[in-house]
Amino acid sequence: MDKIVTFSEIKNLSRQYKSAKKTIVFTNGCFDIIHAGHVKYLTHAANLGDILILGLNSDRSVKHIKGEKRPVIGQEHRSLVVAALACIDYVVLFDEPDPKCLIETICPDVLVKGADWPEDQIIGADFVKKNGGRIERIILEPDISTTKIIEQIGELYYGKR
């Protein structure tokens, strides 16, 4: 799929969009089991600029962050699902536990995270602001998360533990 790109491809694309004076928006995450909260979040992020780039945690990165039982969905399938969303322009996988290197390569105009992240804890926030960009924190949908969905499925099939 044309939307799923490599690190070097996103580096070149970012330069082209910067030269064309397009506003680049960047966000990142695991996006393991896509739900309505993800769709609303990503749609909101896309509306903050011209190009939305999604940094998607690789399977190895997700395991590092979430534990050995995650991700539920592998990176190839997660990439295809998020790339199919009309609001996303590009998806790039990253292996590191955080997207610092990717953010510094893309140098987005807008860095987006959920409002559950204090701005001073958002990886790359200082870099983006130092380079003239801004940070946007989006309020997340209450009572919906991949972890809660996994817990509900577990309760349905195995009863409360």
Whether pLDDT at 161 is above 70: no
Q: Hey, where are the domains in the chain?
A: 4-158
Q: CA-CA distance, 131 to 127, in Å (whole number)?
A: 6
Condensed to tens digits (0 to 9), the pLDDT of residues 52-70 reads 999 999 999 999 998 898 8
Amino acid at 40: K
Write down the CATH superfamily of domain 4-158.
HUPs (3.40.50.620)
- Which residues have CB under 8 Å from 35's CB, separation 6+? 144, 145, 146, 149
Q: CA-CA distance, 66 to 46, in Å (whole number)?
A: 26
Tokens 């998360």 locate to: 145
The tokens of 132 are what? 């003239």
More confident residue, 105 or 70: 105
Whole-angstrom CA distances from 106 to 17, 83, 132 are: 10, 18, 13
Condensed to tens digits (0 to 9), the pLDDT of residues 24-43 reads 999 999 999 999 999 999 99
Q: CA-CA distance, 52 to 142, in Å (whole number)?
A: 24
